[in-house]
Structure 1
Amino acid sequence: MTHKRLTVLQVLPALESGGVERGTLELGHYLVQQGHRSLVMSAGGRLVEQLEQQGSEHVQWPVGHKSFLSLRLVRPLRHFLREHAVDILHVRSRFPAWICYLAWKGMDPAKRPRLVTTVHGTYSVSAYSAVMIKGERVIVISNMIRDYVLQHYPVDAGRLRLNYRGVDPAVHRHGYLPRADWLEAWYRDYPETQGRQLLTLPARLTRWKGQEDFITLLAQLRQQGANVHGLVVGDVQAGKAAYLEELKLQSQGLDVADRITFTGHRQDIRDIMAMSHMVFSLSRQPEAFGRVTMEALSMGVPVIAYAHGGVAEQLAELLPQGAIAVGDLEAALKLSLAWLQQPPQVPENQVFRLQTMLENTLAIYYELTSLPQQVAPA
C-alpha cells in the first residue's frame, strides 16, 4: 500500500539533552529517510544543529515557557499548521501540548492535522496532565505507562498504542568493547578503577534513583572480599550538590570511599557500561522505560534491577534472573556475588529496537491519516 508524503510537526519544550529529545531526533531522521517532511518546534538548544544536519527543519518558538502569555502562541500556531499543511501534530510534553491542543481544537475538523501525543512518564494526576491523553492516538512507552494512564484517566483504551522505546543495535552492539585509546585515557583519569570489577549505576543524582542503596551494596560486597569498584555516572543537577556530599559521607562511614567514583555527567556512558561487569538500576520509583538499562542489555552487559516499571519489562524479555524486589539488598548482594564469579549470558535484544519503534510510530501516523476525521476527544 502506498502512502502520501506526510508533513509531521513534533513539538517539545527544548532540544538540549535527554531521552525525549533523542527520540525526537531519531524519529525526524527516519521520517526524512522515508521521504516525509519533518518539522520540529522547540525553544532550541544544543541538538538543533544535529537535527538540521539530518534533514529536519527546526522552528524556534518559546513553546515550553510556562506562562499564560505563552497562550498568545495559540492563534499563530493555528496559522502555522494551515500554512505548512501539517498532516500530523505530535506532542511530547505537557505545556506545549496545551498550546497545540487549543490551536488544534479550534480548527475545522475536516482540515486540521491528526493529533498524536506520547506519554513519556508518570505525570502527576491532574487536569494539567490530562492534555497528554487528548491525542487521537496516545502512544505509551511501556505497559507500566499504559496501566497508569488507564488507571487514572477516563480514556478509551482503543486510542492507546504501546510503542516501546528502542535502541540502535549498530550503536549499542552486542559484545561491544571500548577502543584501546579510550581505555588508556579512562585509566589515566581514574586509576583507582584499574584491576577491579566495575559495577555501574548510571543515574542522575536525586534521592529516588538508588545511589544510597548502591553504596550500601558496595560496602556489603567489600565485606565479602569482592574486588569491586563502584561508578555513579550522572549529572549533579542544580541544587543537588548537598546530596552528593551526603553520599560521599555515607561512603566514608561505610569504609568504601576508596571504592566508589562519582564521575558526574559523561558523554561516553556507552563505553563505561561496556567495560562494566554489571550495571544496576535501583530506582525506588518505577522508571517509565529506562533507556540506559536497555542500552546495557543490548551490549550484553548484565543488569541487576528493582523489578518494577519499564525496566522490569526489559528484564522479563532479556534477563529475568536480574530482577529483584524493590529494596531487597540481600537479594542484590547474593546475585552480585554469583555474577562476579560467573556472569550470565545476555541474549541479543530483538524486542526493544530503534527500527521497530520508528516503524510503529509511522504506522500510527498512516493509520490516522487514512481514517475519517472525528470529533476532538473531550
Structure 2
Amino acid sequence: MKIAHIISNKVWGGGEQYVYDLCSTLISDGHDVEIFTRPIPAIVGKVATLGVPIHDYSLKNILKLRDGIVHVHNFKDALKLAVAKKLTHSNIKIVVTRHLVRPAKTSRLYTWVYANVEKIIFVSDLARKEFLSSQPKVDEAKLCVVRNSIKTNDNANSFAVDDIKASLPNDTTILMYHGRIAKEKGLNVLIDAVARLKDIPYHLFLVGAGDAEYTNELKLQIANRNISAHVSFLGFKDDVRPYISQTDIGIIPTIAQEACGLSCMEYMMLGKCLITTNNGGQAEYVENGVTGLLITPGDAAGLTAAIRSAITTKETIGKKAKEYFDNYLSYGKFYAEILRIYKNAIK
C-alpha cells in the first residue's frame, strides 16, 4: 500500500512517536511510505532516520497527492486534505487518528470534513465518548477505537548510557517520571507527594524537557521542601527505556485528561509498577491494585500513600502489568488493527 503520514506539530511528543513507530513498521512490512512535515530540524532529523521521502507540509505539496492512504492526526489537517482532495478530484483516502479528549466541533465546515474522511480512529473509549458528547453529525460506522501501543525494544535493558543508581545506597527506591515538563502533567503534586516520604530512602528522576518557567518553579518547590538531594532532572532522552529499566516505580501524575498516554504503557511493557491518575484513557487498561495503581488527580496525600503501597507490591504489580501489555496492548495487535483499517479504506 501507498501511505502518507502528516506530522504538523512543532515539537516532538507522543503523537509524533506514534507516527514514527507506525511508519517504521509499515516500511519493514514492505509498504510505500512518505512523510509530510514542517521544516523543523528536530522533527525532520528524527523522521529522516526512517529513510523514506520527506516533503515540506505545504498546500502545494499536498495538492500533488493523487491516491493511497493519507493518515492525519488532527482535524485541522483532515480539513486541509479534504479540501485538497476536492480541488484535485484525487482518490486519496483520509484516515484520522484522534489523540485528544475533546468534544467534536459541530459547525457545517467540520460536518463536511467528517463526511469526507474514510475512518476516524480514537485511541480510547473515553476519547470517542467525549467526541460524541457534542452530538456531531457523523456516520458512527466510520468511528473505531484502537488503543496506542509501544514498539518493543529488545535491547532496552542492555544499553543504559547512565547508571542512575551508581551513586545511591542499595536500599534506595528509584522513582521516575518521564514526559513533558508542563503544569498539566501534575509534577508539582508529585513533588509534594515525595516530600512526605521522610522515612523512606528514595530518589526521584524527572526525565523530559518543556516549559522553562515551570521547570524553575519546580526547582524552587524542591528547594523549599528540602528534598534537593532526592530529586534529579535528567533532561530530554531520545530513548527513555534504558532509564525505565533501572526504575522501581513509574509515576505519571497527569492532571489533564489524556486519551491514551504512551508513557504509562512504557512502564507496563517493561514490567514496572505504574502509578497514574484515574481521569484519562489509562483507567481503561490499568486495573487498580492489579496492573497498576490509580489515584485522583491533584491528590498529593493519595499519591504518597500509593508510593508507600507500591514499594511493597511493585514486583507483583509489574509482572501483572507486563502480562497485560503482552496479551492486550502489544504493538502487533495495534498494527494489525491499523492495517485492517487501511485495507478497508481503499476497498
The verdict on a shared fold, with TM-score over 0.5 as the criterion, is: yes
Q: Distance in 1 between matches of 2:9 and 2:153?
A: 27
Unaligned stretches of 5+ residues in structure 1: 1-5, 64-72, 371-378
Same amino acid, percent of matched pairs: 20
Residue from 116, 121, 126 that aligns with 1:144: 126
Deviation of residue 341 (structure 1)? 3.0
Matched, 1:77 2:62: yes
For 1:91, the equivalent position in structure 2 comes to 72
C-alpha contact 2:82 2:113 (8 A) present in aligned 1: no
Cα gap change, 1:314/1:8 in structure 2, threshold over 3 Å: closer, same or farther? same
CA RMSD, aligned part only?
2.9
1:42 to partner: Cα distance: 1.5
For 1:166, the equivalent position in structure 2 comes to: 149
Which residue identity lines up with residue 338 of structure 1 in the other structure? S
Distance 2:31 2:222 in 1: 52
Match of residue 203 from structure 2 = 229
**Larger radius of gyration between Structure 1 and Structure 2:** 1
Counterpart-to-counterpart distance in 2, 1:245 and 1:130: 43
Q: Which residue of 288, 301, 306 corresponds with 2:272?
A: 301
Deviations 1:201-226, CA, capped at 9 Å, x for gaps: 2132211111111111111112xx01
Residue in structure 1 matched with residue 307 of structure 2 by the alignment: 336
Distance 2:113 2:287 in 1: 28
From 176, 201, 212, give the equivalent of 1:200.
Answer: 176
Distance 2:202 2:181 in 1: 21
Correspondence for 1:157 among 140, 152, 165: 140
Letter paired with 1:144 = L
SS at match of 1:29: helix
Equivalent pair of 1:41/1:60 in contact (CA under 8 Å) = yes
Work out which of the residue numbers 214, 236, 240 in structure 2 matches 1:265: 236
AA of the residue aligned to 2:126: M
* 1:101 aligned to which of 82, 85, 108: 82
1:368 aligns with 345
Worse overlay, 112-121 or 325-334: 325-334
Instruction: Measure the CA separation in 1 of the matches of 2:110 and 2:231.
Output: 39
3-state secondary structure, aligned to 1:26: helix
Q: Distance in 1 between matches of 2:297 and 2:110?
A: 27
Q: Which residue matches 1:30? A: 25
> Residues 202-259 of structure 1: CA distance to partner in whole angstroms, max 9, x if unpaired?
132211111111111111112xx01111112110x3xx32222221222222221221
State whether residues 278 and 301 of structure 1, in contact with CA within 8 Å, keep that contact through their aligned partners in structure 2.
yes
Runs of 5+ consecutive residues of structure 2 not aligned to the other structure = none
Asked whether 1:213 is paired with 2:179, we answer no
What amino acid does structure 2 have at the position aligned with 1:196?
Answer: T
Q: CA offsets, 1:110-162, max 9 Å, x none?
A: x5122211111135764587787452210111111111111133322211111
Letter in 2 for 1:40: I
Task: Note the alpha carbon deviations across 1:82-129, whole angstroms, 9 max, x for none.
Answer: 3xxx22122113443332121113344xx5122211111135764587
Aligned twin of 1:68: none
Aligned mates of 1:156, 1:248 — CA distance in 2: 49
After superposition, the Cα gap between the structure-2 partners of 1:48 and 1:315, relative to the gap in structure 1 and judged at 3 Å, is same
Does the CA-based 8 Å contact 1:116-1:137 persist in structure 2? Answer: yes
Residue 355 of structure 1 aligns to a residue in which SS? helix
Aligned counterpart in structure 2 of residue 17 of structure 1, from 12, 15, 39: 12
Give the paired residue count: 336
Deviation at residue 295 of structure 1 after TM alignment:
0.7
Q: TM-score, normalised by structure 1?
A: 0.79
Q: C-alpha separation between the residues in 2 aligned to 1:215 and 1:34?
A: 44
- Alignment partner of 1:312 is 2:293: no
For 2:94, the aligned partner's letter is: L
**Are 2:95 and 1:122 equivalent residues in the alignment?**
no
Choose 261-270 or 203-212, whichever is displaced more. Answer: 261-270
> Could you say which residue in structure 2 is the equivalent of 1:374?
none
CA gap 1:16/1:336 in 2 versus in 1, 3 angstroms: closer
Q: Give the equivalent residue in structure 1 for 2:212.
A: 241
Q: Secondary structure at the match of 2:148?
A: coil
CA shift at 1:178, angstroms? Answer: 4.8
Decide whether aligned partners of structure 1 residues 199 and 7 sit closer, same or farther in structure 2, where only a CA change above 3 A counts. Answer: same
Q: 1:355 to 1:132 in 2, by over 3 A?
A: farther
Distance 2:192 2:334 in 1: 37
The 8 Å contact of residues 70 and 92 in structure 2, kept in 1 or not, is answered as yes
- 1:322-356, Cα deviation, whole Å (9 max, x unpaired): 11222333332223212213423332212222222
Q: Write the distance in 2 (CA, Å) between the matches of 1:234 and 1:116.
A: 30
| SS of residue matched to 1:276 | coil
Q: Is the 8 A contact 2:189 2:299 kept in 1?
A: no
- C-alpha separation in 2, matches of 1:352 and 1:307: 18
